[in-house]
């Protein structure tokens, strides 16, 4: 069972990419999400003004620079949070570690220095 719960908007966002290979890469990357995000790690952090509540992650291989990476999944950012108590209980014994709210094009969320 997946440790990731996908919000309705995130599912819609994935479908809107229209790129099955990118969706597969994003789904695989989501399995490695950690809340809270790991400090000092490139490709993840807190949403400005929402520290402790919402985090972001840009799926980039450890050996790749996000801005020069040829993996189209790096063009997207997952916005996620910890699951609520209700969401955790609704998993019926499964371990839900994160809830992905949105999957957005990186240029909509990231700006230099993030």
Question: pTM of the full predicted structure?
Answer: 0.82
Could you say which DSSP state residue 21 is in? H
Residue 98 has what pLDDT? 92
Which helix (H) or strand (E) covers residue 66, if one does? none
Q: Mean pLDDT throughout 76-90?
A: 89
Q: How confident is the model at residue 63 (pLDDT cuts 50, 70, 90)?
A: very low
> Has residue 91 been placed in a domain?
yes
Domain count for the chain: 1
Task: Output the CA angle 68-99-7, nearest 5 degrees.
Answer: 95
Range of the domain at 104: 4-109
Is position 17 within any domain?
yes
In a domain, 114, yes or no: no
CATH number at residue 13: 3.30.2310.20
More confident position, 32 or 11: 11
In a domain, 75, yes or no: yes
């Amino acid at each position: 069972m997946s440790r990731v719960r996908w919000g309705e908007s995130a599912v819609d966002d994935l479908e809107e990419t229209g790129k099955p290979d990118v969706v597969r890469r994003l789904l695989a990357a989501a399995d490695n999400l950690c809340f809270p995000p790991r400090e000092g790690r490139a490709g993840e952090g807190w949403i400005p003004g929402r520290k402790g509540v919402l985090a972001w992650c840009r799926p980039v291989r450890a050996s790749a620079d996000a801005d020069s990476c040829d993996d189209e999944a790096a063009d997207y950012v997952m916005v996620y949070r910890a699951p609520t108590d209700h969401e955790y209980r609704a998993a019926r014994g499964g371990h839900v570690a994160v809830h992905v709210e949105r999957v957005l094009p990186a240029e909509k969320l990231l700006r230099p220095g993030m």
